[in-house]
């Protein structure tokens, strides 16, 4: 089950993401060990996959890119992401809509 933390002070949600770079298309591929699994076309070079992740999440959550922030995992496939203005339910619905 996807683990989502709520930060009531900032009105944001924090969740884990597992990124697969150099995929055939950008998509949500389900859940893996409590993390949202996301496939990205961008390679893991020169921060391109991180930028693509922020853009992709902003697009699917219909929020500005400035509301999406990587908290940790800049050099790893496992990342923690914070999204301001999103709800835990919106994150959970990503799994349902994309499957």
Supply the pTM of this predicted model: 0.94
Number of domains in the chain: 1
Pinpoint the alpha helices (H) of 10-87.
Answer: 48-61
pLDDT value of residue 99: 55
Q: Give CA angle at 88 (84, 66), nearest 5°.
A: 20
Beta strand residue intervals within 3-99, DSSP E: 4-7, 12-20, 27-32, 35-39, 68-72, 78-84
Mutual angle of helices 48-61 and 88-98, in 10-degree steps: 100
pLDDT along the chain (99 residues), means of 10: 91 97 96 96 96 97 97 97 94 80
CATH number at residue 29: 3.30.1200.10
The domain of 44 spans 4-98
């Amino acid at each position: 089950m996807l683990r989502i933390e709520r930060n009531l002070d900032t009105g944001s949600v924090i969740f884990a993401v597992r990124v697969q770079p150099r995929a055939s298309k950008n998509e949500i591929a389900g859940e893996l060990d409590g993390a949202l699994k996301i496939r990205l076309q961008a390679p893991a070079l020169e921060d391109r996959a991180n930028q693509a992740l922020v853009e992709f999440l902003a697009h699917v959550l219909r929020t500005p890119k400035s509301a999406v922030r990587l908290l940790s995992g800049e050099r790893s496939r496992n990342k923690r992401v914070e999204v301001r203005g999103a709800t835990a339910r919106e994150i959970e619905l990503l799994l349902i809509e994309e499957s």
